[in-house]
Structure 1
Amino acid sequence: MLETLNQKLIVSCQAPPDSPLYEPDIIAAMAKTAIQRGAAAVRIDTPAHVHAVRQLLPQTPIIGLWKQKTPNSQVYITPRFSDAVAIAEAGANIIAIDATQRPRPDGETVPDIIEHIHHTLNKPVMADIDTLENAQFAIDAGADVVGTTLFGYTQETATQTPPGWDILRELAANSPIPVICEGGIATPDMAKQALDLGAYAVVVGTAITGIDLKVMEFQKVF
């Protein structure tokens, strides 16, 4: 599955929960559009959306995740193994998790969750990270692919703006597993730059499917 993503575009098809686009059928239509226009895979949030995409695209690689906010943890991307189970059962091929060392809501650890995903669900894991330290932590924990998804979105990296070119360059040069660039890729030229720096694949979300955020950006000038 991972080999099919090498040097390819992955489109993140997501929408805010308060958006009219949040309906599973609409997310699935976005995903089908992306695949028909040449994307190799899609990244999808929530079991309902993953299920809808799987029904419409039975052969398409899906990186699935479940964003859930809890009062006692800053981890929100597939924070528990039970969330990974739901995503896998909905039809995801690859399970994306927050692989930082921050405390998780039920006290589970990243190594334990990755091991359970491998042995119970028989699925590869995409480790979403923010720093080189956490990337190494995820690699040591057994992740199959690492993504720069959380760069700029954690307390440690909050003062920095994605994409994380420096972390991507360092990871691509030294990581024993594929490195996916995700976050802040706003133009085709930026996607090419990511590939030139060694990215195995590139995830683009807002620049392609983020209608809500794009409208809000334009609205600031009015």
Structure 2
Amino acid sequence: MKQSLIEQLRNGCIVSCQALEHEPLFGSNIMSAMAVAAEMGGAAAIRANTPKDIAAIKARCSLPVIGLYKKHYPDSDVYITPTIKEVEELVAAGSDFIALDATVQPRPNGQDFRGLLQEIRAAYPDVMLVADVSTYEEGVLAMELGVDLISTTMSGYTPYSPQREEPDIGLVERLAVLNRVPVLAEGRIWTVDEMLRCFEAGAFAVVVGTAITRPQEITKRFVKAILSRNFG
């Protein structure tokens, strides 16, 4: 079962359907409609935030869902599924995979990633885990700890990882060449060409979010290009 679900992702475009509370598309009805549109377009899977959105997406969409739960705790900068509590809710919502921040940043209550992983495996031995990493070293550690997939999601979003506007294709390649765990490319992938370069670097699948599902950010890019040309 695990392997067959992972195989569904191979060479696929995973569409991230997420909207925060202050954004115009926020709401489970809208996000589930976005997921259905992605499925109609040929997406391999959906990445989604919050148990409410995930449950709504699972009710309308037949694709596998990589679930995460963004929660902020006062004693930590980790916010992607930071504790076992969020994992419990994601499992209950029907997530096929669960994405976790796998960086070395301090977690809530002083727990490290290894400790959270042990807690999850004890409670949910069959759940498939996606480790969101920001560096090669974090990816290698997550592989050693036995996660099911690695994603380059956090590259550029930790203070010690490369800060760049383009996707971190080099990180994808360094992790993929190890040939130990399937690697998902994610983060700042705006164009078809960038997506294809990720596959050429060895990505198992590619996650595209903002470039497909956040029209306000897409609009900003067009407007920025106009302003940079300074049309009279």
Range into which the TM-score falls when normalised by the shorter chain: over 0.9
* 2:113 equivalent in structure 1: 110
2: CA distance, partners of 1:175 / 1:71: 37
Q: Does 1:200 align with 2:204?
A: yes
* 2:22 equivalent in structure 1: 18
| SS at structure 2 position matched to 1:117 | helix
Query: TM-score normalised to the size of structure 1?
Result: 0.94
Number of residues paired by the alignment?
221
Give the root-mean-square deviation of aligned CA atoms. Answer: 1.5
2: CA distance, partners of 1:141 / 1:150: 18
- Whether the aligned pair in 2 keeps the contact of 1:117 and 1:125 (CA below 8 Å) is no
- What are the ranges of 5 or more consecutive residues in structure 2 without an aligned counterpart? 228-232
Q: Does 1:72 align with 2:75?
A: yes
* 1:88 equivalent in structure 2: 91
Q: Does 1:34 align with 2:38?
A: yes
| SS at structure 1 position matched to 2:157 | coil
Q: Does 1:142 align with 2:149?
A: no
Greater CA radius of gyration, 1 or 2?
Answer: 2
2: CA distance, partners of 1:202 / 1:39: 10
Give the deviation of 1:219 after TM superposition.
4.3
1: CA distance, partners of 2:19 / 2:162: 22
- What are the ranges of 5 or more consecutive residues in structure 1 without an aligned counterpart? none
* 2:165 equivalent in structure 1: 161
Q: Greater shift after overlay, 212-221 or 80-89?
A: 212-221
2: CA distance, partners of 1:134 / 1:185: 21
1: CA distance, partners of 2:100 / 2:166: 19
| SS at structure 2 position matched to 1:67 | coil
| SS at structure 2 position matched to 1:85 | helix
| SS at structure 2 position matched to 1:152 | coil
| Deviation by residue 1:54-77 (Cα, 9 ceiling, x = unmatched) | 1112x3200000111222111110
* 1:3 equivalent in structure 2: 7
Give the deviation of 1:158 after TM superposition.
5.4
| SS at structure 1 position matched to 2:79 | coil
Give the deviation of 1:5 after TM superposition.
0.5
2: CA distance, partners of 1:178 / 1:116: 23
1: CA distance, partners of 2:133 / 2:145: 13
* 2:50 equivalent in structure 1: 46
- Whether the aligned pair in 2 keeps the contact of 1:115 and 1:142 (CA below 8 Å) is no
Which letter does structure 1 place at the counterpart of 2:193?
D
* 2:230 equivalent in structure 1: none
Which letter does structure 2 place at the counterpart of 1:53?
I
1: CA distance, partners of 2:199 / 2:163: 25
Which letter does structure 1 place at the counterpart of 2:155?
F
| SS at structure 2 position matched to 1:157 | coil
Distance 1:162 1:176, change over 3 A: same
Give the deviation of 1:39 after TM superposition.
0.3
Which letter does structure 2 place at the counterpart of 1:28?
S
Give the deviation of 1:212 after TM superposition.
2.3
* 1:185 equivalent in structure 2: 189
1: CA distance, partners of 2:111 / 2:84: 8
- Whether the aligned pair in 2 keeps the contact of 1:135 and 1:146 (CA below 8 Å) is yes
